[in-house]
Amino acid sequence: MLDDAGIVLTDAEREDLEIADFGFDDLSTVGTQIHTYVNTDRYCAKELVQSPGQTCPEHRHPPFDGTPGKQETFRCRAGEVSLFVDGEGDDEEERVTENPTRTPPTREEHYTAGREIVLEPGDQYTIPPDTNHWFQGGEEGAVISEFSSRSVDEKDVFTDPKVDRLSNIDY
């Protein structure tokens, strides 16, 4: 999918690709494939790959160590991704759907963010710090560039207590 989106990774970067299954051992349903270009105390840039229907579980990036928490911008590069966020937004600037096109894959009680924003290639959306959100790849999956403040995965708070963010698959 990265190749199809025109995103070139070196062999070393491909070998270092993070494959997160969040402890569910069902990567086709719950998971995310991640390449991190840079992650410093000031900023972070990543590529996220979602297979068709694959879901990243609901979570938020809370304040820590005097920071307001991670703020992130998603920019869709290929395919389509449904991003679900808490809160109210300016519908004129967002592609908010009236009736959600996607549903949680499992354990629905742990998905509370219900405002769906569908991103297609070239669309982007910024998620404020400490905002519950989850996302799911469309029918062809999606490649999403993420630009954010520092990423500290172990500080993420997932709505579902079963989620293990640091659970990765070796391939």
Q: Spell out the per-residue pLDDT of the chain, length 171, in tens.
A: 999 999 999 999 999 999 999 999 999 999 999 999 999 999 999 999 999 999 999 999 999 999 999 999 999 999 999 999 998 765 545 566 778 889 999 899 999 998 999 999 999 999 999 999 999 999 999 999 999 999 999 999 999 999 998 877 665
Q: What's the pLDDT at 170?
A: 66
Residue 167 lies in a domain: no
pLDDT at 76 (0 to 100): 98
Spell 57-68 as b/e; 16+ CB within 10 A means b: bbbbbeeeeebe
Is 28 inside any structural domain?
A: yes
Looking at residue 154, what is its pLDDT?
A: 92
Residue 171: what pLDDT? 57
Give the pLDDT of residue 98. Answer: 74
Residue whose C-alpha is closest to residue 83's, from 130, 25, 131: 131
Please report how many Cα atoms fall inside a 13 Å half-sphere around the Cα of residue 118, on the Cβ side: 14
Residue 94 confidence (pLDDT):
55
Rg (CA), the chain: 15
The domain in which residue 97 lies consists of 11-158
Task: Examine residue 76 and state whether it is found in any structural domain, yes or no.
Answer: yes
Residue 58 lies in a domain: yes
Query: How many domains does the structure of the chain reveal?
Result: 1
CATH number at residue 102: 2.60.120.10
In this structure, is residue 168 part of a structural domain?
no
Beta carbons within 8 Å of 36's beta carbon, 6+ residues apart: 18, 44, 45, 46, 151
The reported pLDDT for the residue numbered 101 is 86
